[in-house]
Amino acid sequence: MRYVGVTDGFMTWHVGYETPSGTFLAVEQTKDPSRAWIAAQTNRAPREGSLSVAGRTWEKYVRDNKVQNSLLTVPPSGSGELATLVTGTASFEDMTTYIESLQPVR
């Protein structure tokens, strides 16, 4: 786990996990991300639609020439919530299962 400044100086919380199937899944969070932050964190993958998971809309990114899938949800600006990116070599099915298990911290 780490909390570091990345693209455009956005302070980003990052934690990585190995899934039960042996793939990698990371969670990254920041406040009001820029387009450059999103591009860097998704490895410049193109957006390929969206999914509804756990009551939120997640933008789906798929990088074809390198196995990397990403799901991103960005709350409305000013909401005080963090944007959340789930990314890695895990399948979208594994990512969805992980997202459904997340709980807010108060």
pLDDT tens for the chain, residues 1 to 106: 788 888 878 889 999 999 999 999 999 999 989 899 999 999 999 999 999 999 999 999 999 888 899 999 999 888 888 999 999 999 999 999 999 998 877 7
What pLDDT sits at residue 93? Answer: 94
Report the candidate in 50, 45, 85 with the shortest Cα–Cα distance to residue 66: 45
Looking at residue 76, its pLDDT comes to 87
Q: What is the pLDDT of residue 1?
A: 78
- Percent helix, strand, coil in the chain (nearest 5)? 20, 45, 40
Sorted by sequence, the CB contacts under 8 Å of residue 57 that are 6+ apart come out as: 50, 51, 73
- pLDDT confidence of residue 2: 80
**C-alpha–C-alpha distance, residues 88 and 11, integer Å:** 20
Q: Are 49 and 43 in contact (CB under 8 A)?
A: no
Q: In degrees rounded to 5, what are phi and psi of residue 27?
A: -115, 130
| pTM score of the predicted model | 0.90
Q: What are the extents of the domains in the chain?
A: 2-101
Give me the torsion for CA of 47, 52, 57, 59, rounded to 10°: -10
Q: Which pLDDT belongs to residue 96?
A: 96
